[in-house]
Structure 1
Amino acid sequence: MKISFLCVLIAAIQPFLWALAAKAGGIRSGTRYNNHTPRNTLASLTGWPQRANWAQQNSFEAFPFFAAAVLMAHVAGVAPALIDTWAITFIVARFAYFGCYVADLATVRSLVWFVGVVACARLMLAAA
């Protein structure tokens, strides 16, 4: 499997990992999880579990941009090493984003979010 395609798989899985962290954190902090109304349960979280849920939501939002950027770069024949570099950059930024979100480091979180956006934009521009 190409490294960049593996990165797309990792990016697709990240929101589910962050949701699991939010749910587990909520349970540990005393929030009873209700699988009949999971969105209500997640909406009632506070503290770091709430921020993990927000990171999950943002990861779902960021995924299409990243997946499209990787596919565009491959279809356009961009050098695989360049694609892999920017795909790995995106994944590292998204892990850092989650860590910053959970730790409530808002400014740093915004900076690493921007790194992810730049990685996607760079892939799209290389394809152009």
Structure 2
Amino acid sequence: MTTPLICLVIVAVMPYIYAGIGVYYRSRLPGGVDNKHPRQQITQLQGPGTRVYAAQQNAWEALAIFTVAMLVVHLRQAPEPQVSLFAELFVAARVTHGFFYIKNWDVFRSLAFATGLVCVISMLWISW
């Protein structure tokens, strides 16, 4: 199950990538990055900066459900070719979801979210 595990690592790293992007937007605020009160500083962000942090929170949520799916897939010894396809599609959906979130393309973001959800459900169905 190499490909699904690689996908799990990618999904696990994504919230940290968004956090790094968020630091860029925080650094543009008056006074720069406030590392003593980062959550308070996030409330001062507007536009893309706010959406980056929302994408980060959503990435954490997606990691939880994807991790559960990977655990079920592994324990049930689901067929790797099918699982790999849905895991790769999930990663693609999550990458585009974050991009669409930051760009404020809400309809595309929702479609990317739905695609990722269908991928997780499909992996669980295959494992059934």
TM-score using structure 1 length = 0.93
Residue 28 of structure 1 deviates from its aligned partner by 3.3
Q: C-alpha deviations, 1:27-62, integer Å up to 9, x for none?
A: 235562111111111222111111011000011111
CA distance in 2, matches of 1:21, 1:108: 21
Deviations 1:75-122 (CA, angstroms, capped at 9, x unpaired)? 112111111111111110010001101111001100100001111111
Gaps of 5+ in 2: none
RMSD: 1.4
Q: Match for residue 19 of structure 2?
A: 19
Task: Quote how far apart the aligned CAs of 1:127 are.
Answer: 1.1
Aligned identity (percent) is 26
CA distance in 2, matches of 1:11, 1:31: 32
CA pair 8-19 structure 1, distance change in 2 beyond 3 A:
same
Alignment of 1:5-84 (within 5 A): 5-28=5-28, 30=30, 32-84=32-84
Q: Is the 8 A contact 1:10 1:91 kept in 2?
A: yes
Report the counterpart of residue 100 of structure 1 in structure 2. Answer: 100
Q: Which amino acid aligns with 1:70?
A: M
Report 1:104-123 matches (<5 A).
Answer: 104-123=104-123
| C-alpha distance in 1 between matches for 2:43 and 2:81 | 41
**In the superposition, relative to structure 1, how do residues 87 and 35 fare at CA in structure 2: closer, same or farther (>3 Å)?**
same
Q: Distance in 2 between matches of 1:62 and 1:41?
A: 24
> After the TM superposition, which parts of structure 1 deviate over 6 Å for at least 4 consecutive aligned residues?
none
Q: Is the contact made by 1:31 and 1:45 (CA closer than 8 Å) also made in structure 2?
A: no
Runs of 5+ consecutive residues of structure 1 not aligned to the other structure: none
71-80 or 47-56, larger mean C-alpha shift: 71-80
Task: Give the count of matched residue pairs.
Answer: 128
